[in-house]
Structure 1
């Protein structure tokens, strides 16, 4: 859906735009769930279900956006306010599974 030039111009330049069904979102979601660890591309591929040739390209794009970092063969998410919504959704969805809606002990 197109937006007007005024809307385009008013967008913050650091706006993070990741659709929930994208490969980048899946990688960021996995890394945010495990923000205390770093992973190899092979481990990320295994956990996200992405194709072998896709993970490297996705990680490179996310690194270009300043959202992930790497040392050697290991990759990790960075701490960034733009990622707070992904982290909140991830933590919220896992905690809702454990919520006691019926007051049972």
Structure 2
């Protein structure tokens, strides 16, 4: 589905889909999960399975929106309230999928 050029120019968020399962979402989720570390594009590619050639473009778009930061070769999740909420949501989602629903004795 295309959008008008005015919407594209006026609303850069419309050009970046951060919905669950998209490449930007997968990169943000990975970086949020490891918010105490910074990674190279190659490491992000290896950890997320996103094509190597796509990682750099996605990171640049995320950086333009203040969602990631980088220094030299390394990239990390940005530090702001919006991303803190995203990281907390990811942590809660991960915890719910690893809960032991059967208790300690497996009954």
TM-score (norm 1): 0.75
Which residue is equivalent to 1:88? 88
- For structure 2, the 5+ residue unaligned runs are 2-12
Structure 1 residue 81, shift from structure 2 partner = 1.8
Which residue is equivalent to 2:58? 58
Structure 1 residue 101, shift from structure 2 partner = 3.3
- For structure 1, the 5+ residue unaligned runs are 2-13
Q: Distance in 2 between matches of 1:41 and 1:18?
A: 19
> When the two structures are aligned, how many residues end up with a matched partner?
92
Q: Distance in 2 between matches of 1:27 and 1:51?
A: 12
Which protein has greater RCO, CA pairs closer than 8 Å, 6+ apart? 1
Which residue is equivalent to 1:68? 68
Alignment of 1:42-53 (within 5 A): 42-53=42-53
- Note the alpha carbon deviations across 1:50-98, whole angstroms, 9 max, x for none: 0111000000000000111111100000122222343123211222244
The alignment partner of 1:89 has SS state of helix
